Structure 1
Amino acid sequence: MEKLKKQSFLADLGLVAVAFVWGSGFVASKNALDSMTPMMLMALRFTVAALLSGIIFRKSLKNISKETLRAGCMIGFFLFTAFAAQMIGLQYMLAGKQAFLTGTNVIMVPFIYWAVKKHQPDRYNFIAAFIMMLGLALLTVDFSTGFTFQLGDSLTLLCAFLFACHIVAVGIFSKEHDPIDLTVIQLSFAAVLSLLYVIFSGEFTLDIPAAGLVNGLYLGVFCTFLAFLGQTVAQKYTSSTHAAIILSLESVFGSILSIIILGDAFTPLMFSGCFIIFMGILTAETKWSFLKSKQKKSEKISEV
């Protein structure tokens, strides 16, 4: 039991680290997109990550089974399509609004997992997911511009659904297959699809300025290779719903780093959003057990 608790705690720390790295990816992506198209950036980051993972873990790839290969390709498909829908949708909407809509995957994950594995999450996970959605709204949405539903909204909701499918797929397959093998396969599959897209669309180019290349390499090494490796390994020891809640901290870290590095303004609503997100995490992590224990102690004292 103690070993399982320790593994679960370390998995949570790993997912927080992944969320932080993904949050830093907002800054790197913003800088990199000044030098290349969104899909070319996807091709660069996934190709770098796939080559790096393939070189480092080449020895463990010799005995990959067909089942592991299929599982990795399925995860890679969700990864590629989610990023593609996000990048294309971003052309038609505000980035803040997209961040909020993408964050709806926190709510989608328990329902998708329930549909696939017939395992209903407890009420605290549902409550935490909805609390965090409110926090994400306050953190990312510019309410002064209104909230209309357009093409970009549809594509971003599709993106959120695909990211939720990715989290669920990783959670299921990482418990049945080697997480390292799954990481290499999913990144390679996403890289191949990204390269095919930019080649046939005519977006492919090797003429990338140094600044764009540096940011692209950061995205490939840290935000893709190391982050998705960390996610896949960590989800072996925790539930998909739990992982989705922790990974949604990406929005918090992204906002904070944007303020520090890019000089973005931070409003009182955004501060409120951070606090509400923290309350959501507290709900999912503790299920308010410390309040229950206090209540029981007070009841015992009153009886005496």
Structure 2
Amino acid sequence: MKLQPWLARLMLLAAAAAWGAGYTFEKVALRRLSVQWIMGIRLVIAVAVLTPILWGKLKRSHMLSMLVPGLLLGVTYWAAFLLQMLGLRTIGPGRNSFLTATYCVLVPFLVWAVSRKRPAWRNFAAALLCIVGVGLISLSPDDSAVISLSSGDVLTLVGAVFYGGNIVLAGGLAKKFDATILTYYELLVAGVLFLVGAVLTEPMPQLADFQPQVLGSLIYLTLVSTLIAQNLQNIAFSQVPASQGSLILCTESLFGMVVSVLALGEELTAEHLAGFAIIFVAIVVSEVRFKSQAAPAETL
């Protein structure tokens, strides 16, 4: 699928908006359901919806050739979400969100490690700006300013590494395989892993847990956060380098805060506004190319 670069970037921004709004819906669903059941249900339903839509492509694709890419994307997707949520059990949500967002700093280095081609300096500068902006948006006044690493911090940081790895993999694989088929196998593998984990470690949901608000949240998380947003990301990465795309995806925290303010009445502070501005500057920096600069070797 050939896309104009501006359209691919717009698709990543739309995916970030969908995931940012998803935090509010996840919070509603978590009132009645556990993490792995929420993830397992939404991913399996998403795969069930995608199967008839992609049936023709699935029959034409070589399953064995998709096995390794699907496993790589699915396992990193599953591990990233699982570790982030495990970390969230012992640390505050603001701290958890801030530490998770370090993937936007990690991605240029992961790209460098995989491709042996250094991204442009502007990508490194933009990544650092982005993490500062995300920190201002995510950290609440109640979060401790003391620099220390708890077990929850470590789990969250390892989860961020898997998020970054998933983005780098998506960026490389989307240039070689059909992005929608990649998404299908990614969701299938992760969904199975979440359901197995839920059955083995978490209580079975009861019919009474599926209240109207919970059902509405699951519908949004399945259709928008999973089906639409994940496909938008994987398709867009066929045209956008991962080191740039990860910065656009960092706006997820911006959209998450805006939706939380509108839907849940969360307070918007001067720090939040400063964070929004810094993230915007980071994205602009990542896109600016100086004539004197040699063409950067960004292929992932």
TM-score by length of 1: 0.90
Which residue does 2:154 correspond to in 1?
Answer: 154
Which residue does 1:81 correspond to in 2?
Answer: 79
Structure richer in helix, relative to its length = 1
Aligned partner of residue 168 in structure 1, secondary structure: helix
2: CA distance between counterparts of 1:219 and 1:233? 19
Which residue does 2:168 correspond to in 1?
Answer: 168
Which residue does 2:143 correspond to in 1?
Answer: 145
Which residue does 1:260 correspond to in 2?
Answer: 262
Q: Do the aligned partners of residues 287 and 268 (structure 1) sit closer, same or farther apart at CA in structure 2, a change above 3 Å counting?
A: farther
Write out aligned runs for 1:1-304 (5 A): 7-65=4-62, 66-147=64-145, 148-207=148-207, 208-287=210-289
Kindly indicate whether the alpha-carbon contact (under 8 Å) linking 1:39 and 1:87 is maintained by their aligned counterparts in 2.
no
Structure 1 residue 210: Cα displacement: 2.7
**Further displaced range: 209-218 or 32-41:** 209-218
2: CA distance between counterparts of 1:145 and 1:218? 30
Could you list the per-position Cα deviations for residues 77-119 of structure 1 after superposition, in whole angstroms to 9, with x for gaps in the alignment? 1001101111111111111111110110001001111111111
1:112 aligned partner, one-letter code: L
2: CA distance between counterparts of 1:59 and 1:81? 30
Aligned residues: CA RMSD: 1.5
2: CA distance between counterparts of 1:220 and 1:285? 32
2: CA distance between counterparts of 1:30 and 1:205? 16
2: CA distance between counterparts of 1:78 and 1:260? 32
Kindly indicate whether the alpha-carbon contact (under 8 Å) linking 1:86 and 1:159 is maintained by their aligned counterparts in 2.
yes
Aligned pair count? 286
Q: Do the aligned partners of residues 213 and 162 (structure 1) sit closer, same or farther apart at CA in structure 2, a change above 3 Å counting?
A: same
Note the residue ranges of structure 1 that are not aligned, 5 or more in a row.
Answer: 293-304
**Structure showing greater Rg:** 1
2: CA distance between counterparts of 1:144 and 1:59? 52
1: CA distance between counterparts of 2:189 and 2:61? 15
Quick one: percent identity of the two aligned structures? 30
Could you list the per-position Cα deviations for residues 198-248 of structure 1 after superposition, in whole angstroms to 9, with x for gaps in the alignment? 112243325222321220121011101111111000000110001100000
1: CA distance between counterparts of 2:206 and 2:178? 34
TM-score by length of 2: 0.92
Structure 1 residue 28: Cα displacement: 0.5
1:123 aligned partner, one-letter code: W
